[in-house]
Amino acid sequence: MVRSVSATKVLALRQQTQILWERYFSSIEKIVFTTLEIIRERLPSQPSRDGLVWNSSPGALLTLPHFSDTLHHYPFYYDMLGSQPDNQFTAVIYSQLGGPAVSTSPLYRLIKNVARSLYIARVSNTAAEQQVPSAVNQQQVGRPASSTSISQRFYPHPLIQTAAVLSLDEDCLLTTDEVDFAFAVWKSFPDRIVGYPARSHYWDDAKGTWGYTSKWTNDYSIVLTGAAFYHRYYNFLYTHWLSPLLHKTVEQSQNCEDILMNFLVSHVTRRPPIKVTQRKQYKEQPPGGARSPWNDPDHFIQRQTCLNTFAAVFGYMPLLRSNMRLDPVLFKDPVSNLRKKYRQIELVGSYWFQFVAEKLAAPGTRTVSLDDAVPIIKEKSLEDTVSIISEKPSSVNDIIAHNKVTRWSTDILVYAGTSGLQPAVFRDRFVTQVNRTKQNQPIAVLHHVRAIISGYETGTRTWLWDLSVF
């Protein structure tokens, strides 16, 4: 009889045994809580859960019945039940810097970019009084009850009706394409944190403590909730399930709530978060050299302390490392833009492209987002745009010297298309500029990039390019 059981079945039974052991019997604490939970379910008028919850991860101890009376509202059972999360999300913007949301402020631009998404259900701003962009539907914007707690961004507010929550800091730089792409990824991984700013933890042998680093390495274990998607069930767990000692640590330091959320999700799922695309800087620098609260040296020291406090309360280090990054299909591939769904993402970090837009923008405009750059460039005359090209001869030298020719050339080609320049006119201007900079030397740029017009997008007057690098 035993030998008649297939190897596949044996493996499945071993995996099931491992789940039961880790969730209910691996410590005295879990055995006690499991016993109390079984007794509670047998009491009159107490909600009970079926065998699917008890026998699958994350288990009954982490699937709180008071959150919902249906498993379809939890992030763990979509595949088992053959269902999917709804196709909308709620954006929660945490405002800490203060100040009016004028048209040039980061918060104003952020709300405008998020509201452009086809999947937005509501924008919830934690600031009590802020001006809302005129282009945004006033019915979309809600304001939770004001609170001085830094954890208010994770409060399970009734305004949040969608499964997906987009958590944002007010000085975030995300474009509409970045929001939409991250949401598309999250729908495939609804039980995890999916976002942009990545950080990592490590063990410091010299100090005998856990360390926190923002250095860019080949792996990460934290995705900050300043620009990330997660399931709203984690708001419920964060508020009603976490130890009061953890909440006290966050409130006393007025810091680390994003690290604590990562601890919680990794503890529940036993999986790392997911980083999307190549963006490194996701916050806008404050004007006039002012220091952001997140750039304060004490802020970083506090996060080191929080990391060790959280690990001590959890009893182990739940954070897991990952070296996976998800990019859009055909990202940076030398194919037509007609075949690419998220075109703006490739322009992230394109400082030359944004420089042109900022030069052409109204006087006093400090920064221009990628969403606003294309309309600004398109409305200007040919003479204005060409004058910008000839204004930065030194940049050509600098970029060629640092082997960034291809990336810079790509930026210029995109710029040429959005400005309405005809290919022949632009090519002549471009060659003249490179010759002026690289006198009596080969035109390296033209040897690296071959641009072929592949189409003309009706309505937006944007040239589409195939870039073939050789």
What are the pLDDT digits (tens) for 180-213? Answer: 999 999 999 999 999 999 999 999 999 999 999 9
| DSSP-based three-state secondary structure for 20 | helix
Taking only the tens place, the pLDDT of each residue in 429-438 is 555 555 554 4
What band does 462 get if pLDDT is binned at 50, 70 and 90? very low
pLDDT at 351 over 70: no
Per-residue pLDDT, averaged over 351-359, amounts to 53
pLDDT at res. 404 = 38
Indicate which residue of 171, 177, 258, 466 is catalytic.
258
CB 233 within 8 A of CB 74: yes
Q: How many residues does the chain have?
A: 470
Q: Look at the domain 89-326 and name its fold.
A: Spore Coat Polysaccharide Biosynthesis Protein SpsA; Chain A (3.90.550)
| DSSP-based three-state secondary structure for 26 | coil
pLDDT at res. 354 = 53
Establish how many alpha carbons lie within 13 A of residue 119's alpha carbon, considering only the half-sphere containing its beta carbon: 24
Q: What secondary structure does DSSP assign to 277-327, as a single string?
A: SS----BPPPGGGPPPGGG-HHHHHHHHHHHHHHHHHHTS-----B--EE-
Taking only the tens place, the pLDDT of each residue in 56-87 is 999 999 999 999 989 999 999 999 999 999 99
pLDDT at res. 459 = 33
Kindly report which listed range (20-29, 331-340, 376-385, 453-462) carries the lowest average pLDDT score: 453-462
Helix (H) or strand (E) holding 387: helix 382-389
pTM (2 d.p.): 0.74
* Cα 406 from Cα 399, distance rounded (Å): 9
Higher pLDDT, 8 or 133: 8
Do the strands 198-204 and 209-213 form a parallel or antiparallel pair, or are they unpaired? antiparallel
| Residues above pLDDT 70, as percent of the chain | 63
pLDDT at res. 72 = 92
> Cα-flanking dihedrals φ and ψ of residue 169, to 5°?
-90, 155
Read off the tokens for 210: 């856990």
Any catalytic annotation for residue 258? Answer: yes
Per-residue pLDDT, averaged over 116-129, amounts to 82
* Cα 190 from Cα 46, distance rounded (Å): 28
pLDDT at 9 over 70: yes
Establish how many alpha carbons lie within 13 A of residue 303's alpha carbon, considering only the half-sphere containing its beta carbon: 24
Do the strands 120-125 and 89-94 form a parallel or antiparallel pair, or are they unpaired? parallel
- The domain locations on the chain are 2-60, 89-326, 337-469
Per-residue pLDDT, averaged over 292-321, amounts to 86
Alpha-carbon distances, residue 238 vs 197, 205, 247, 273, 421 (angstroms): 21, 31, 9, 17, 53
